[in-house]
Amino acid sequence: MAWNSIQKAPLNKSQKLGAPDGLWLKCNNCKGVIYRKDFEANQCVCTLCEYHYPIAALTRIKFFLDPDSFVEMDANLVSTDPLSFSDTKPYKDRLKATQNHLGIQDALISGEGLLEGIPVQVAAMDFRFMGGSMGAVVGEKISRAFARAVAKNQPAVVFSSSGGARMQEGIVSLMQMAKTCAALSLMRDKGVPMISVMTHPTTGGVAASYAMLGDINVAEPGALIGFAGPRVIRQTIGQELPEGFQRSEFLMEHGMLDLILHRDSMRGKISQILRMITHKHS
């Protein structure tokens, strides 16, 4: 019988990143011991403390959409390394190594599927890919998802998990903030809803652009959400921050979120919201 600490949430076989194989797992948050099958059945949420572990983009989409309904779009988009950037290694080499390691081309997977029978456009960020950073590919995929939502008159649901803009793409990365917001404004003009789901963490340029501009803003429990992180803010202003600052619950109390949803209730609640919106506009 093996006992392991949860280092990464269990993933599909094609997405596995050395997740522990033992029957029992030790939660990194509450230190309790939980049965692996219960953990996986609970959508990679600790059954004792309800800590929501990060999950791969494809795994999240699998949990969220109806079985076998997802069709991926724009899967072959890759960065062209516009700045020929290099730090400790060339950006193009870092990209290639990450792509080979994870089996995905960039930090966001997008497409369409059914949510309890409702056709939706969906996009999910994968924090494992360079911290879920938003470069040209991520911005393009999100913008195309919003454009498809308008063309097909289907709602869009975007799951964000990001450290912000991708520094290796410089100003091209920062331009994605305006680009995604412009694409979102076209949805608003046509009355097509966008539901933004912010998971841990959603920060930087992603939080400062489309992620906080959903018609409904949702977060998972305990998610860190904000532009600059609390450590940077604390050092800048030289003051201690309120307890729970920038966590989902704090933002909910201060009017920046509409809902905090446990992962296992995400499908049911969002489909209920979409039915209400559809009925209202029918």
Give the start-to-end residue ranges of the domains of the chain. 1-53, 55-281
pLDDT at 15: 35
pLDDT at 279: 60
| C-beta separation of 51 from 27 below 8 A | yes
- Across the 282 residues of the chain, what is the mean pLDDT of every consecutive 10-residue run? 36 38 87 92 94 96 97 95 93 96 97 98 98 97 98 98 96 97 97 97 96 97 92 88 91 96 97 84 50
Q: What are phi and psi of 59, to 5 degrees?
A: -65, -45
Question: What distances in angstroms separate CA 169 from CA 29, 57, 82, 105, one per listed residue?
Answer: 34, 22, 7, 16
d(CA 119, CA 258): 23
pLDDT at 21: 60
pLDDT at 13: 37
| CATH class of the domain at 55-281 | alpha beta
